[in-house]
Amino acid sequence: RPMTSASPDTIPCVRPPNIGVLLTGFGPFPGVPDNRSGTMLATVSEACRDAAPGLLMNTAVLPTHWSDAPVALQSLIGELSPA
Q: What is the pLDDT of residues 22-67, one digit of tens each?
A: 999 999 999 999 999 999 999 998 898 888 888 888 999 999 999 9
End-to-end C-alpha distance for the chain, whole angstroms: 35
Model pTM above 0.85 = no
pLDDT at 5 over 70: no
